[in-house]
Structure 1
């Protein structure tokens, strides 16, 4: 006759086994401007579901090109609809999985914590011989939005020779934070994440295309865990994490 402890251990093993089998890994490629929010979401999602969430952060253009080249991404969250459009046109998204997740805004930041507010029109004069830090203006969404705004405001031609371009928006933020550039153009959410900069101006929303972050499931490996994560992005915990970092969550 089996001992009670033995029977209990066997029952527990049978009960737990399906949970272990259901655990999966989800790889998310996300825009660098989402660094802090995705850190929160990763921790909460793993705790709530038992799945492992692998988050790769970089400029949206670099991530999209990696996906085109076969990188093993399950989910892509871009800081610009254009790069999601490219992947959709290439047939690399699961049908009907794409949705608009977040909005953001564009700000001018200055080095240090005591910089005073200013008009964006003052930037060429205040910049002097210094550099304006921006993400790649023809490839990375934050840089594209920034160039569009400066062009609309009639400032791009005078500022273009003084722009220091970086691979992603967080790298532009870092240049300002360490004092290598006196000013930079980043998302409002980036400024929230860095104590070494001050927001001195906000770019008018009508000076650039709307800043929309779409999310989608990459074609090729459609799992229950991926679908669960996409639903998690629409849930209350993810919403709270995004809002803490200054994002505006688009109603679904």
Structure 2
């Protein structure tokens, strides 16, 4: 019995040591993935893995960091363009790129706002703004801003409201401006609106008004951490995508 207990203690110690030696995956993820990616990381940790280290920001900022050699294992973008940016620079590991998720684009207002808008060609967004500004992620670089600009151009509203746009550094910063009442209206993803109790969805942009919203994932070529590839495989699996679907994303 004593020998068995000694063996059991050694086995537990060895397992704990092995766990401690495994480095967690480091993930660069689009700002709109904050709640869902954290939930996926929690599931991964419950499966006996080190909990991934997550870094959230605009896809544009993260892609530039990855291209500059930032130490990370995975990159999850909110559009194809910034993943293409890294592919063109030879930064992605071969055969690891995959399309992970989809989303919708919405117009939001503070929860107490009574504004009503029908998003159709020729709608008067400037009048709906009144003396206020339109919050959106920077359309010059950030995916949510690019999608938003494309939608407004398609609906014939961009030229009228472009001077009134507050260009936020990422989609969550745009959401925060609406939450605080700094902007009466904002353009964010449907999942961002779902994550906030302080805004309401005024309208959903027609899917045909902007390029499809897709989130690709890939492992970075410089990654040598087995946990990075293992976590990537989990995220693209049915079980991994199911986590994101609970937060309003669509599996792709």
1:88 corresponds in structure 2 to 87
Q: 116, 125, 128: which is aligned to 1:126?
A: 128
Label 1:97 to 1:142 Cα distance change in 2 as closer, same or farther (>3 A): same
**Mapping of residues 4-83 of structure 1, within 5 Å:** 4=3, 7-9=6-8, 11-13=10-12, 16=15, 19-20=18-19, 23-83=22-82
Q: Does 1:172 align with 2:174?
A: yes
Q: How much is the aligned-residue C-alpha RMSD, in angstroms?
A: 1.9
Task: Give the TM-score normalised by structure 1.
Answer: 0.92
Contact kept in structure 2, 1:115 and 1:198, CA below 8 Å: no
8 Å CA contact 2:63, 2:82 repeated in 1 = yes
Runs of 4+ in 1 over 4 A off after TM superposition: none
- Flag structure 2 segments of 5+ consecutive residues without an equivalent: none
Paired with 2:15 and 2:156, the residues of 1 have a C-alpha distance of: 64
SS at match of 2:47: helix
Deviates most, 114-123 or 82-91? 114-123
Q: Can you give the 5+ residue segments of structure 1 that lack an aligned partner in the other structure? A: none
Distance 1:194 1:10 in 2: 47
Please, what TM-score do these two structures have when normalized by structure 2?
0.92
- Of residues 162, 165, 184, the one that matches 2:164 is 162
Matched position secondary structure for 1:52:
coil
Structure 2 distance, partners of 1:170, 1:138, is 16
- Alpha-carbon contact 2:31-2:171 (below 8 Å) kept: yes
Structure 1 match to 2:147: 145
Alignment partner, residue 97 of structure 2: 98
**Cα shift readout 1:52-92 (whole Å, capped 9, x = no counterpart):** 30000000000001111111111000001000001001000
How many residues align structurally? 249
Rounded Cα–Cα distance in structure 2 between residues aligned with 1:124 and 1:41:
40
Q: How many Å separate the matches in 2 of 1:13 and 1:125?
A: 67
Match of 1:112 in 2: 111
Which has the larger displacement, 162-171 or 113-122? Answer: 113-122
C-alpha change, 1:113 and 1:240, in structure 2 (3 Å) is farther
Deviations 1:27-72 (A, max 9, x none): 0000000011011111111121322300000000000011111111
The 2-side partners of 1:182 and 1:10 are apart by 61
1:183-235 alpha-carbon deviations (Å, 9 max, x no partner)? 00000000000111110111111111111100000011233211210111023
Distance 2:136 2:13 in 1: 55
CA distance in 2: counterparts of 1:106 and 1:14, whole angstroms: 50
SS in 2 for 1:25: coil
Residue 192 of structure 2 is matched in structure 1 by: 190
